[in-house]
Amino acid sequence: MNMISETRQKSLLYLENVSVSFDGFKALNSLSFVVEPGELRAIIGPNGAGKTTMMDIITGKTRPDTGTVLFEDTIDLTKKDEADIAQLGIGRKFQKPTVFESHTVWDNLELALNRSRGVFATLFYTLSPEDKARIGEILETIRLTHRSQEYAANLSHGQKQWLEIGMLLAQEPKLLLVDEPVAGMTDAETAETAVLLKEIAKTRSVVVVEHDMGFIRELGVKVTCLAEGSVLAEGSIDFVSNDPKVIENYLGR
């Protein structure tokens, strides 16, 4: 108890006893989970372990039946909707790369830029030199400078994943939730993505959900293993992958 209250003081994201069920199926079962500022955290777990549902709850897409979800110790995320939460500084990358395919790469980033998002502000928005510079910077980071004027639909799968990460960067979030960023990537792309994420994690917290153990090993960070809607084990990758429960539930299969 004491420990928890202590962690509460400095946590960026704090989940306690979160449960949610769909038509009787318990997707999350008193899940508790904490992310500290500046932390890069990996989450693993078998299908149906509740990884995506957890992200849905953090980002306001799903409301938990019970439990507490706090951002920066004070903000109750269960009372906010997606847009509020995004504006608070939580960015989310989907499992399937989700970019605006009928926009150019540049426009995708322009939309994501952390500027006033009101109806009239966007109507009368004009691109300032700083914004241009910022987009250019991100383009460099995600290595898409040479394709900035192309439609996102024409990008390769890996490039779409990067573009999406780039959009999250443009959003300037304090916490980045990344769902399976290397699914369907070549080995080279995977490696490069690991570098990218580590780079990003220097300035903000990142939570990565991933199946690819090699990738997680490459990240070299604290790992949380979920199963059946609650935390099974937490610690370094070696610690977790040696946990017998984890082996039985996940790795062994």
87 binds another protein (CB under 8 A): yes
In whole angstroms, what is the distance from residue 98 CA to residue 114 CA?
18
What is the smallest separation between the CB atom of 54 and another protein, expressed in angstroms? 12
Q: Which of 6, 65, 82, 248 binds another protein (CB under 8 A)?
A: 82
56 binds another protein (CB under 8 A): yes
100 binds another protein (CB under 8 A): yes
Please give the full DSSP string across 141-157, using - where no structure is assigned.
HTT-GGGTTSBGGGS-H
Q: Which of 98, 128, 203, 242 binds another protein (CB under 8 A)?
A: 98
205 binds another protein (CB under 8 A): no
Q: How many angstroms separate the Cα of 81 from the Cα of each of 51, 127, 172?
A: 19, 28, 18
Instruction: Closer to another protein by CB, 118 or 252: give it.
Output: 118
242 binds another protein (CB under 8 A): no
For 14, list phi and psi in degrees, rounded to 5: -135, 115
Q: Which of 59, 224, 230, 241 binds another protein (CB under 8 A)?
A: 59
Give the three-state DSSP class for 221. Answer: coil
In whole angstroms, what is the distance from residue 110 CA to residue 45 CA?
34
Instruction: Closer to another protein by CB, 210 or 218: give it.
Output: 218
Of 149, 150, 148, 113, residue with least CA distance to 131: 113
155 binds another protein (CB under 8 A): yes
147 binds another protein (CB under 8 A): yes
26 binds another protein (CB under 8 A): no
Please say whether the beta carbons of 12 and 90 come within 8 A. no
What is the smallest separation between the CB atom of 220 and another protein, expressed in angstroms? 16
Of 175, 204, 179, residue with least CA distance to 193: 179
65 binds another protein (CB under 8 A): no
In whole angstroms, what is the distance from residue 30 CA to residue 27 CA?
10
In whole angstroms, what is the distance from residue 92 CA to residue 177 CA?
5
In whole angstroms, what is the distance from residue 109 CA to residue 171 CA?
9
128 binds another protein (CB under 8 A): no
Q: Which of 15, 49, 54, 112 binds another protein (CB under 8 A)?
A: 112
Contacts to another protein by CB under 8 A: 22-23, 25, 27, 52-53, 56, 59, 61, 81-83, 86-87, 91-92, 94, 98-103, 107, 110-112, 114, 117-119, 122-126, 143, 146-147, 150-151, 154-156, 158-159, 167, 171, 186, 188-189, 191-192, 195
